Amino acid sequence: MNKKIKEAAVRLRGKCRADAGMVTSEYAMGIIAAVGFALLLYEVVTSGQVRAELQDIVKKALSARM
Protein backbone atom coordinates (compact mmCIF):
# COMPACT_ATOMS: atom_id res chain seq x y z
CA MET A 1 0.00 0.00 0.00
CA ASN A 2 2.79 2.41 0.93
CA LYS A 3 4.56 1.69 -2.35
CA LYS A 4 1.44 2.53 -4.39
CA ILE A 5 1.09 5.86 -2.59
CA LYS A 6 4.72 6.72 -3.28
CA GLU A 7 4.36 5.82 -6.96
CA ALA A 8 1.23 7.97 -7.24
CA ALA A 9 3.02 10.85 -5.54
CA VAL A 10 5.95 10.56 -7.97
CA ARG A 11 3.59 10.59 -10.97
CA LEU A 12 1.69 13.57 -9.60
CA ARG A 13 4.91 15.45 -8.85
CA GLY A 14 6.10 14.85 -12.40
CA LYS A 15 2.90 16.30 -13.84
CA CYS A 16 3.01 19.33 -11.56
CA ARG A 17 6.58 20.16 -12.55
CA ALA A 18 5.75 21.02 -16.13
CA ASP A 19 7.81 23.83 -17.64
CA ALA A 20 5.39 26.68 -17.01
CA GLY A 21 7.66 29.53 -15.94
CA MET A 22 10.98 31.22 -16.45
CA VAL A 23 14.28 29.69 -15.46
CA THR A 24 16.87 31.55 -13.41
CA SER A 25 18.80 32.80 -16.43
CA GLU A 26 15.61 34.28 -17.89
CA TYR A 27 14.89 36.04 -14.59
CA ALA A 28 18.43 37.42 -14.61
CA MET A 29 18.08 38.75 -18.16
CA GLY A 30 14.72 40.29 -17.28
CA ILE A 31 16.20 42.03 -14.24
CA ILE A 32 19.14 43.35 -16.27
CA ALA A 33 16.75 44.70 -18.91
CA ALA A 34 14.54 46.32 -16.25
CA VAL A 35 17.53 47.97 -14.56
CA GLY A 36 18.77 49.27 -17.90
CA PHE A 37 15.35 50.70 -18.71
CA ALA A 38 15.09 52.28 -15.25
CA LEU A 39 18.52 53.89 -15.68
CA LEU A 40 17.56 55.27 -19.08
CA LEU A 41 14.28 56.62 -17.72
CA TYR A 42 16.10 58.21 -14.76
CA GLU A 43 18.56 59.93 -17.09
CA VAL A 44 15.74 61.30 -19.25
CA VAL A 45 13.66 62.53 -16.31
CA THR A 46 16.61 64.20 -14.59
CA SER A 47 17.79 65.99 -17.73
CA GLY A 48 17.51 69.78 -17.63
CA GLN A 49 14.69 70.31 -20.11
CA VAL A 50 12.46 67.51 -18.81
CA ARG A 51 13.10 68.52 -15.22
CA ALA A 52 12.07 72.11 -15.99
CA GLU A 53 8.90 70.93 -17.72
CA LEU A 54 7.97 68.66 -14.80
CA GLN A 55 8.55 71.48 -12.31
CA ASP A 56 6.37 73.77 -14.41
CA ILE A 57 3.57 71.19 -14.44
CA VAL A 58 3.77 70.78 -10.66
CA LYS A 59 3.79 74.55 -10.08
CA LYS A 60 0.71 74.98 -12.29
CA ALA A 61 -1.07 72.15 -10.48
CA LEU A 62 -0.29 73.59 -7.05
CA SER A 63 -1.33 77.13 -7.98
CA ALA A 64 -4.60 76.12 -9.61
CA ARG A 65 -7.76 77.60 -8.11
CA MET A 66 -10.50 75.33 -6.92
Residue 15's pLDDT is what?
Answer: 66
0.85 exceeded by pTM: no
- Contact predicate 25/33, CB 8 Å: no
Domain edges within the chain: 20-66
Residue ranges of alpha helices (H) inside the chain are: 2-16, 24-45, 48-62
Please state the rounded mean pLDDT for residues 29-46.
92
Residue 12's pLDDT is what?
Answer: 75
Return the minimum-mean-pLDDT range out of 11-20, 37-46, 55-64.
Answer: 11-20
Q: What span, in angstroms and rounded, lies between the C-alpha atoms of 19 and 4?
A: 26
Q: What span, in angstroms and rounded, lies between the C-alpha atoms of 49 and 34?
A: 24
